Amino acid sequence: MWQRPDFVRLWTAATVSNLGTQVTLLAVPFVAIKTLHASTFEVTGLGAAASAPLLLFGLPAGAWVDRLRKRPIMIGADLGCCVALGSIPIARAAGVLTIWQLFATEFVSAALTIFFDIAAQANLPAVVPRDELAVGNAALQVSGQTAQVVGPGLAGVLIGLFGAPFAVAADAISYLTSAAVVSRVRGAEPARVREPTRLRTEIADGLRFVRRHPIMRANLAFGASANFFNAIFYAVFILYAVRTLGLSARQVGLVFVCSNVGSLATATAAPRLHRRFGLGPVMLATSASGWPLLLVPLARGTGEWAIAMLAGAVFCWASAAVIFNITSATLTQATTPIGMLARAAASRRLVSWGVILPAMLLAGVLGTYLGLQTTMFIGAVGRGAAGLTILRSPARHIRTLEDADAIVAEAFA
């Protein structure tokens, strides 16, 4: 895989961008909590602002990306995110930063990220052979997990030294770097040769394809329910850690660093697990990753034991989730025609991630009226139960990509 220059460039861009994003995931809530003294509902509203673009642009983005070359889309999205996030430290330095600017920045950067992610996912099969997709997806997950290992700790240090608003500047720089690296990719997929059709028709084709695809349909049922309760849980996670447990930015960063060390290791192990146990059994085993999250609302105090409980819970959840995501992405990419990849990805994102906005809003209500601890219990229990939806999927019959091909071919016969 590392002998393929285009893949190495894509991997490098993803790693750099992910590192900056991990800084922002911690820094922006701290800007709202510490700098602007935001309420619980306002903090959860940041997550809602980041989720809204998916409902507005998710499906059209897939159709547009399928029509166009992928590399310019990725570069443009990176540059736009750089400008949006760079406005936060500038506004803070000028003394004009408001919660509404944070909402707008989250909305714009999330919208651009939709286009980048769909283009990148659709472009991967163009630079990686089909039989190496699992390794390619694992390598990309490794970049994400590596960023999650380093990013939170780096975020805690930057926030402590410079303040949360100026820590966001690191993410702006990372997007600029990512754009420069992506611009050197030479083997990007060319624009699709097609007969002129209406955008609405292409969107409908993508939705029909996903609905008929037996593997994607089952994974979407799991993804939607899992992401709904994940969103409730993580919408108040930092608030709970800061206001209930009294953890500092560095301690919260340490929690994520400790938890993601293990998930980095499991990402590298995914291809070996596929060969040893089969794709489907691995999906079934890792779909039950939500139950350890119950340890978080049980944590008390600010000592090492509380930090260990939080880190252990998120470690177990992330370790299993990353393997499930690698397996699901590999099966999806291998059984989807090139000309349908972006629309299929957009449809999946809309269903799986479209639930995040109402979940964030619900988390704000639950956190305000029932308390942060009860809200986290609801999120953890729901996330654990979501794994039951995958039990009736075709996953139990899939060990290899050839098994998946046979199941999909029969569904579309």
Q: Please list, in sequence order, all residues whose beta carbon lies within 8 angstroms of the beta carbon of residue 14, skipping any fewer than 6 positions away.
A: 120, 140, 143, 144, 178
Count of CB atoms situated within 10 Å of the CB of 243: 14
Tell me the C-alpha distance between 348 and 344, whole Å: 6
What are the domain boundaries of the chain? 5-184+197-412
Residue type, 229: F
Q: What is the pLDDT of residue 100?
A: 92
Tell me the C-alpha distance between 382 and 376, whole Å: 10
- End-to-end, the C-alpha distance of the chain in Å comes to 34
Q: What is the pLDDT along the chain (413 residues), one digit of tens a residue?
A: 677 787 888 888 877 777 777 777 777 888 888 888 888 778 878 877 887 887 788 777 777 777 778 888 888 988 998 999 889 889 888 888 888 999 998 899 888 888 888 887 777 777 777 777 777 777 776 776 666 667 667 777 777 777 777 778 877 888 888 888 888 877 655 555 455 567 677 778 878 888 888 888 888 889 899 999 998 998 888 888 888 888 887 788 777 776 667 677 777 788 888 889 999 899 888 888 888 899 888 887 656 778 888 888 888 888 888 888 888 888 888 888 877 777 777 777 777 877 887 888 899 889 888 988 899 999 999 998 888 888 878 888 888 888 988 998 888 87
CATH assignment, 5-184+197-412: 1.20.1250.20
Q: What is the pLDDT of residue 228?
A: 94
The DSSP string of 154-202 is HHHHHHHHH-HHHHTHHHHHHHHHHHHHHTT---PPPPPP-----HHHH
Q: What is the pLDDT of residue 181?
A: 85
Output the pTM of the full model. 0.66
Q: What is the pLDDT of residue 79?
A: 92
Residue 97, SS3?
A: coil
Residue 213, SS3?
A: coil
Q: What is the pLDDT of residue 377?
A: 93
Write the DSSP symbol of residue 291: G
